[in-house]
Structures are given as structure tokens and as C-alpha cells.
Amino acid sequence: MTKPPPMTIPEAAEVLGLTGRASLNGIHARFHELVKEWHPDVSEHDPDLSHTTFIRIKEAYDILIEYGMNYELSFRAEDIRKGTGYDSREFWMAHFGDDPIWG
């Protein structure tokens, strides 16, 4: 039997049922949900299907975790504001700026 070609990142996300965006913690949590269902030792599915599906889930998880761990993050203020819309100084001033204790 020939080994299938490696999955792409979008294919790996689809295998885990992830759409749009996910954090590393979200990927990890989803992986554990699927392991509980598909691990061959506990699955109520057909043993051959469980084995094949579990291998595919593990491969997808490895691809997404490696991608997430090697993704470069920017810590420049303008990139953070652009990506999240969040500026810690603006937040602080909006919530505590006029407070005599914290301002």
C-alpha cells in the first residue's frame, strides 16, 4: 500500500474540524476530543476505520501544531493593534485613566 501524500495545512484543519481561526490550545482541545472518539482502544467504530482515522487525526494534529509553533509573531505595537484591535495603553486609560488610585 502506498503512503498518501502529506496533508496541506487547510486539509489538516479540515480533518480536525477546525474552520477559520484556532489557537494552539484550541487545536490541542479538538485533538483530544477526537482521540476520545477514535482511539482504537476505546472506539466503538469499526476497528480498521478507527485505526485509519486515528492515524489521519494524529497526522493532522502534528502538521497544525508544527505550523503553529513555527509561526512568527510580531510584537510591534502597530501590528498588535492591526491584528487584534487592542492597545493596552488605550485600554488602561479607558478603564483606569481618571481613577485617582490607578491613573
Cβ neighbours of 9 (radius 10 Å):
13
What is the chain's alpha carbon radius of gyration, rounded to the nearest angstrom? 21
Q: Is residue 2 part of a domain?
A: no
Angle at 43 between CA 42 and CA 46, to 5 degrees: 135
Reported as a single tens digit per residue, the pLDDT across 51-81 is: 999 999 999 999 999 998 988 877 787 776 6
Number of domains in the chain: 2
Cα separation, 103 vs 95, whole angstroms:
9
Euclidean distance between the first and the last CA atom of the chain, given in angstroms as a whole number: 68
Lowest mean pLDDT, pick from 3-12, 45-54, 61-70: 3-12
Reported as a single tens digit per residue, the pLDDT across 15-37 is: 999 988 898 999 999 999 999 99
Co-location of 17 and 38 in the same domain:
yes
What pTM does this model have? 0.70
Co-location of 64 and 79 in the same domain:
no
Domain that residue 55 falls in: 9-71
Co-location of 38 and 67 in the same domain:
yes
